[in-house]
Amino acid sequence: MPPTSTFNAPTTLEIAISYLGMIGMIAVIVLVIVLVFKMEKIKELLSQTARLKRAFDELDGQAKLIVQTDVELHKTQEELDKKVAGLVTLQKLTRLLATTLDEEELFKKLDEKHVTELGFDRALAFCRDETKTFRLKAAIGYNVEEAERIQKLITGMPLIMDIVMNKQKVLSTADMDRASKESPHLLSMLNLSSFVCAPITQKEGPIGLLLMGSESPYTRLTEGDKDLVYILATQIGQTLENAKLFEETWRAQQELEHKIQQRTRELSAALEEIKVISKRKSDFISAVSHELRTPLTSIKGYASILAAGKLGELPPQAKERVEKINKHSDSLSQLINGLLDISRIESGRQEMKLEPIDLKSLAQSLGDMLAPPIKDKNIELVIDMPEGLAPVSADKSQLERIFINLIGNAIKFTPVGGRIGIAARTVENDGSIRVSVSDNGIGISEHDLRKLGEEFFRVDNEVNQKVKGTGLGIALVKHIVEAHKGQFSISSQLNKGSTFSFTLPKA
Partner 1 sequence: MESFVGVGFSEKKDPFLAASEAAKLALYQIHHRPISFAFLFSTIHFAHPRVLDGIHYALGNVKLLGCTGAGVITSDAVRKYGVGLMLISMEKIHFGRAVKTGIQGKSAREAGEEFARLALKDLGTTQRDLALIFSDGMIENGSDLLKGIKDIMGLSFPIIGASSGDNFCFHKTYQYFDRTVLTDSVIGMVFSGENVFGMGLRHGWKPLGRPHTITEVKGNLIRTIENKPAVAIYEEYFGKSRKEIEKTLIEMSIYYPLGIYVPGETEYLLRNILRIDEDGGLLCQGDAPAGSEVRLMMGTKDWALEAGSQAAREAKEALKGREAKAVLIFESISRNKLLGRLTEKELARVKKEFGDVPILGICSYGEQAPLKSLEHYGETYFHNETLAVLAIGEPHAPDKHV
Q: Three-state SS across 431-468?
A: CEEEEEEEECCCCCCHHHHHHECECCCCCCCHHHHHCC
Instruction: Give the helix ranges, DSSP H, for 98-197.
Output: 103-109, 112-117, 144-154, 158-167, 183-190
Kindly state whether residue 37 participates in binding partner 1, applying the rule CB under 8 A: no
Name the residue type at position 255. E
- Which residue, 17 or 88, has its beta carbon nearer to partner 1? 88
Binding flag, residue 50, partner 1 (CB under 8 A): no
Contact residue for partner 1 among 218, 311, 388, 468 (CB under 8 A): 218
- Report the candidate in 134, 124, 287 with the shortest Cα–Cα distance to residue 195: 124
Q: Which residues contact 417 (CB under 8 A, 6 or more apart)?
A: 377, 378, 379
DSSP 245: H
CB 411 within 8 A of CB 442: no
Pick the binder of partner 1 from 54, 64, 279, 290 (CB under 8 A). 64
* One-letter-per-residue 3-state SS of 342-397: HHHHHHCCCCCCEEEECHHHHHHHHHHHCHHHHHHCCCEEEEECCCCCCCEEEEHH
- Give me the 335-364 binding string for partner 1, x by CB under 8 A, dash otherwise: ------------------------------
- Listed residue (423, 327, 315, 415) closest to 374, CA to CA: 415
Smaller CB distance to partner 1: residue 141 or 453?
141
225 binds partner 1 (CB under 8 A): no
Q: Does 482 bind partner 1 (CB under 8 A)?
A: no
Q: Do you know the residue count of the chain?
A: 507
Q: How far is the CB of 232 from partner 1 (least distance, A)?
A: 17
What is the size of the binding site for partner 1 (CB under 8 A)?
31
* Contacts of partner 1 in 70-109 (CB under 8 A): 70-71, 74, 77-78, 81-82, 84-85
Interface with partner 1 by CB under 8 A: which range of 27-35, 90-98, 115-123, 460-468? Answer: 115-123
Identified binder of partner 1 from the candidate list 219, 235, 426, 445, rule CB under 8 A: 219
Are 335 and 470 in contact, with CB atoms under 8 Å apart?
yes
CA distance 443 to 497: 4
Q: Which of 220, 244, 281, 377 binds partner 1 (CB under 8 A)?
A: 220
- Does 146 bind partner 1 (CB under 8 A)? Our answer is no
Kindly tell me which of 77 and 180 has the beta carbon lying closer to partner 1.
77
Residue in 298, 329, 345 with CA at minimum distance from that of residue 472:
345
Tell me how far, at minimum, the Cβ of 75 lies from partner 1, in Å.
Answer: 9
Q: Which is nearer to partner 1, 53 or 349 (CB)?
A: 53
- The reply to whether 58 sits near partner 1 by the rule CB under 8 A is no
Cα–Cα distance for residue pair 460/505, rounded to 1 Å: 34
Instruction: Please identify, using beta-carbon distances, which residue of 183 and 282 lies nearer to partner 1.
Output: 183
Least Å distance between CB 112 and partner 1?
A: 6
Between 14 and 57, name the residue whose CB sits nearer to partner 1. 57
Closest by CA position to 391, among listed 290, 505, 479? 505
* Residue 66 sits in the site that holds partner 1 (CB under 8 A): yes
467 contacts partner 1 (rule: CB under 8 A): no
Is 275 a residue that touches partner 1 (CB under 8 A)?
Answer: no
Q: Which residues bind partner 1 (CB under 8 A)?
A: 56-57, 59-60, 63-64, 66-68, 70-71, 74, 77-78, 81-82, 84-85, 111-113, 116-117, 121, 193, 215-220
